[in-house]
Structure 1
Amino acid sequence: MVRGLRVSMVLLAVLGNLAWSFSAKANFNGKLTVEIDGLKNKQGQVCVSIFASSEGFPSDRNRSLQKQCTKITSTPLAISFENLKAGSYAVAVFHDQNSDGTLNSNVFGIPNEGFGFSSNPEIRTRAAKFSEAAFLVAGPETDIQIQLKYF
């Protein structure tokens, strides 16, 4: 009985230390660097949106956690975001060639401009789902690479 109690106390201490360790690591603010490759040209800008859930992903930029558009100065292009908590995220990118702030498409809804998603899922007849593009931020610096696609 005493031995069982001692094992239980040790187990509780270990679990307590693990929980403290995880919560301490989860309180950091991380930096995400998104490298965008496959740009067809340097016209316009690249717009990147980070989502923390499937709500609005990938096209409702107003529901994104962070977003920014950057003039294309080099290829590949790297864009960084600060102050991300540990967790699961998905990124949507598009090459805004005419700098109008939207991903332009034809009458059938097929994009006229380049686009891409984190985790580079295969794209055929629809945009990626959050679960297909999700990745983890679990440290102070996370780097991902997105390959743009053009139709």
Structure 2
Amino acid sequence: MNTLIRIIISSLVTLLSFQASAQNNYTITVKVEGAESNDGKMFIALYDTATNFLDKSYKGEVSDIKDRSCTVVFKDIPKGTYAVSMFHDENDNGKLDTNFFGFPSEDYGCSNDARGIMGPPRWKDAKFELKENQSITIHL
């Protein structure tokens, strides 16, 4: 009988712990507007550190484009500091194309509509605090 009670208590503690951790996770809905066309795909990346920003994403999604826009949802994201970047892979070759000087030749953007000056956008300009479910819009 004691063994059965221990198993039940252990199961309840595990279940309550799982529910508590699930309640601390949120969704980030990202809408991208103003694409030049519906051609290709949108590549959207979520970053969780300044060190990895624009280099190694925490999560990523690829989306079709309809009416020159798209929406993706990142689920089960813990509270914290994040930034989003995206690019419109208009020619559908799976990468952000650049010109002779190394500047992007396809549309790109970041959360907070951050733009770089003579270089890529900076983490401090693109970051945001996630404390609840959040929606952001990136304008191209």
Same fold (TM > 0.5): yes
1:52 is aligned to 48
Aligned counterpart for 1:111 among listed residues 104, 113, 116: 104
Ranges of 4+ aligned residues in structure 1 off by more than 4 Å: 24-27
State the aligned residue count.
Answer: 121
SS across alignment from 1:119: helix
Secondary structure in 1 aligned to 2:119?
coil
Aligned equivalents of 2:31, 2:66: Cα separation in 1: 13
Q: Does 1:83 align with 2:83?
A: no
Shift of 1:27: 5.8
**In the alignment, which residue of structure 1 is the partner of 2:30?**
34
Q: Distance in 2 between matches of 1:116 and 1:146?
A: 6
Give the alignment's TM-score, normalised by structure 2.
0.79
1:128 has 2:121 as partner: yes
Partner AA of 2:137 in structure 1: Q
Residue of structure 1 aligned with 2:134, choices 117, 123, 142: 142
- Deviation readout 1:35-88 (Å, 9 max, x if unpaired): 101101100000000000012321x2xx21100111112333211110100011
Cα distance in 2 for partners of 1:125, 1:26 equals 41
TM-score, L = length of structure 1: 0.74
Structure 1 runs not aligned, ≥5 long: 1-23
1:69 aligns with 2:65: no
Identity over aligned residues, as a percent? 28
Alignment correspondent of 2:3: none
Give me the CA root mean square deviation.
Answer: 1.8
Offset of 1:131 from its aligned partner?
A: 1.1
